[in-house]
Structure 1
Amino acid sequence: MKLKTTRKLMVLAGLVGMLALSACGQANNSTTGGGSNTPEASANGAGNSTASAVGEQVDYEIIGIDPGAGIMKATSQAIETYGLADWKLIEGSGAAMTAMLDKAIKAEEPIIITGWTPHWMFAKYDLKYLEDPQKVYGEAEEIHTVARKGLKEDHPTAYEFLDRFEWTSDEMGAIMTAIQEGQDPAEAAQAWADANTDRVDSWTEGLTPVDGDKLKLSYVAWDSEIASTNLLEYVLESKLGYDVESLQVEAGPMWTGVASGDVDATAAAWLPLTHADYWDKYGEQLDDLGANMTGVKTGLVVPAYVNIGSIEDLK
């Protein structure tokens, strides 16, 4: 009899404990916002708390590149346009930016960067652009080749080759990826040219080679422009007989060098937005040979696992 009574008491005690735990759980949910896990709550504002958490985790910092880049000016404008008063744009370099991106992704941490395509990081990582409903970064851009005035008369072969030169982001991406994986830029460009002779021939067919004429190119230290300039240098030297000097400079000196005639050409002019200020200042002093690549893009970029979709989410 005593054994049965004891068992009944144990069962009752267990039921009381379970009811107490259930009551505590309901109380916690009602006081701490645990109900946000419901579908209704997720659809009605969970994104705001997520964006706030992302901001705190990244110290309200957007990781940028060199201060002279047009994308930095556009990002400063985006901070103002979208009312991101708490956010800071961090200056640096393309290499520093991708190093921080790699570190964040390996740790599965959030990060917000200034990004552009074509770029090898989109092939290596799962990334996404934040939507830009205010169109601060504009529509798709183009990369243009611009030359100094008089290049056509002084070096008609080089001028015609540069005028014909155009390629795709996938073609550029093959060289960028090889460089990123450790291949020397000049060797990567040569390997691509040797593997795509039909493409190279379409740029050089019928042109008369020269005998060691000197030519000077300039470019900014972006992975895309390193790829394109090394390719141009290889073709100009190996197929057309030029002695080419390629100068890696900031965006400002790149434009002023061509405008002043100290540099013959650059294939690294991002228009109409990224280098808009330089075009407005120097455009009339240059010869625009047109786009060598279309459909390029700039904006704010995050890893795909970061649960925000628009620049507006950063407010």
Structure 2
Amino acid sequence: MRLFKKATGIGMTAVLAIGLAACGNADAKNDDEKISGTTGNVGESVDYTITGIDPGSGHMELTAKVLEEYDLPDWNVTSGSGAAMTAALKRAYDKEEPIIITAWSPHWKFSKFDLKYLDDPQLIYGDAEEIHTLGRTGFKEDFPEAYTIFQRFSWDMDDMAEIMIAIEDGEKPEVAARTWVDDNQDKVSEWTDGVAKVNGETIKLVYAPWDSELASHNMMKIVLEDMGYDVQLSMVEPGPMFSAVADGSADATFAAWLPNTHKTYVEKFEGEFEDIGVSMVGVKQGLAVPTYMEGVDSIEDLKSN
């Protein structure tokens, strides 16, 4: 079975019924049911394709396992980027066409589109996850002030969503981050209270190419710069992100989703970094569809009848 293929979009099966009125009405009804997934033909309606993200992500690894564990041999997952996935979602959503995507929250798409997660009775994607802050070995000794801030750093999905939505609406990431920091000084002060400012020390932060991580790292860049640091941001795939923290070429990341999404990388680099703390709880990943796709509520519903 071929699980992954490069694609710029998602193939759709379109059926147009033309004929006598009675036949036309029956065919149109059947077509509507295929699109909504009410007849068990959801696979046909999306060409047995799930629209995925970057191939190096733990989410895609778990999605491959989903196809295996749920016995979905006819299905495949396109790989690309988070931006390509959301572009495909928008195209389908605007036309009320069926689409299945790899999804995670927090993410701005749940504010822009009416979506629902598919139930995962086997918990392949796991239960609710946490986002952890990781630092390279020796980070605490080299940057004690920043280490204290990172230990205290905690916010919720609504906080992150404010920045993500502003960026999606056209704001530059650094401007959206600055606005949030200025509007949430009470929260920021909980992280920085009593921490001495520094004089231009350079910190290198690395993050995966997800909208959520773009938001968190630009926000923390502003916080650290206000404390006197020179902050360098680098966006890389998840594998190189963990590798950079493990080998010390990056100082820290706020993009480790545990215990499931990045389990492979945590095990690979065990003992080569420090888990500094949890910045967010209750985050989630899985497969999602627009709510107009009726009769598709579980991954089990993807099986052919």
The TM-score range, normalised by the shorter chain, is: 0.7 to 0.9
Of residues 284, 290, 294, the one that matches 1:297 is 284
Give the whole-Å Cα distance in 2 for the aligned partners of 1:77 and 1:125.
27
Q: Deviations over 1:259-302 (max 9, x none)?
A: 01111000000000000000001131111012100000000000
Of residues 213, 216, 219, the one that matches 2:201 is 213
> Secondary structure at the residue paired with 2:198?
coil
What TM-score results when the alignment is normalised by the length of structure 1?
Answer: 0.84
Matched, 1:276 2:263: yes
Amino acid at match of 1:257: A
> Secondary structure at the residue paired with 2:40?
helix
Q: Deviations over 1:157-183 (max 9, x none)?
A: 111111111100000000000000000
Structure with the higher fraction of residues in helix conformation: 1
Show the counterpart of 2:189. Answer: 201
What TM-score results when the alignment is normalised by the length of structure 2?
Answer: 0.87
Show the counterpart of 1:168. Answer: 156
> Secondary structure at the residue paired with 2:107?
coil
How far 1:56 sits from its partner (Å)?
Answer: 1.1
Moved beyond 2 Å, runs of 4+? 47-51
Matched, 1:228 2:216: yes
Show the counterpart of 1:112. Answer: 100
Amino acid at match of 2:265: Y
Matched, 1:285 2:272: yes
How far 1:51 sits from its partner (Å)?
Answer: 2.8
Of residues 51, 69, 75, the one that matches 1:81 is 69
Give the whole-Å Cα distance in 1 for the aligned partners of 2:102 and 2:222.
30
Q: Highest Rg: 1 or 2?
A: 1
Give the whole-Å Cα distance in 1 for the aligned partners of 2:141 and 2:164.
33
Of residues 107, 119, 124, the one that matches 1:131 is 119
Of residues 40, 60, 77, the one that matches 1:51 is 40
> Secondary structure at the residue paired with 1:284?
coil
Give the whole-Å Cα distance in 2 for the aligned partners of 1:274 and 1:229.
19
Give the whole-Å Cα distance in 1 for the aligned partners of 2:211 and 2:27.
46
Q: Deviations over 1:187-232 (max 9, x none)?
A: 0000000011101111100000110001100001100000000001
Contact 2:150/2:277, CA 8 A, preserved across alignment: no
**Alignment coverage as a number of residue pairs:** 275
Q: Which runs of 5+ in 1 are unaligned?
A: 1-24, 37-41
Amino acid at match of 1:90: T
How far 1:48 sits from its partner (Å)?
Answer: 7.7
Show the counterpart of 1:7. Answer: none
Matches within 5 A, 1:95-110: 95-110=83-98
Give the whole-Å Cα distance in 1 for the aligned partners of 2:139 and 2:186.
26
Give the whole-Å Cα distance in 2 for the aligned partners of 1:314 and 1:208.
55
Matched, 1:306 2:282: no
Give the whole-Å Cα distance in 2 for the aligned partners of 1:267 and 1:284.
18
CA RMSD of aligned residues (A): 1.9
> Secondary structure at the residue paired with 1:96?
helix
> Secondary structure at the residue paired with 1:247?
strand
Q: Assess, with a 3 A threshold, how the Cα gap between structure 1 residues 124 and 241 changes in structure 2: closer, same or farther.
A: same
> Secondary structure at the residue paired with 1:312?
helix
Amino acid at match of 1:283: E
Q: Assess, with a 3 A threshold, how the Cα gap between structure 1 residues 299 and 157 changes in structure 2: closer, same or farther.
A: same
> Secondary structure at the residue paired with 2:270?
helix
> Secondary structure at the residue paired with 1:95?
helix
> Secondary structure at the residue paired with 1:283?
coil
Contact 2:37/2:293, CA 8 A, preserved across alignment: no
Of residues 133, 146, 150, the one that matches 2:134 is 146
> Secondary structure at the residue paired with 2:104?
strand
Q: Deviations over 1:57-88 (max 9, x none)?
A: 21110000000111101100000111111101
Amino acid at match of 1:263: A
Amino acid at match of 2:160: M
Give the whole-Å Cα distance in 1 for the aligned partners of 2:217 and 2:149.
13
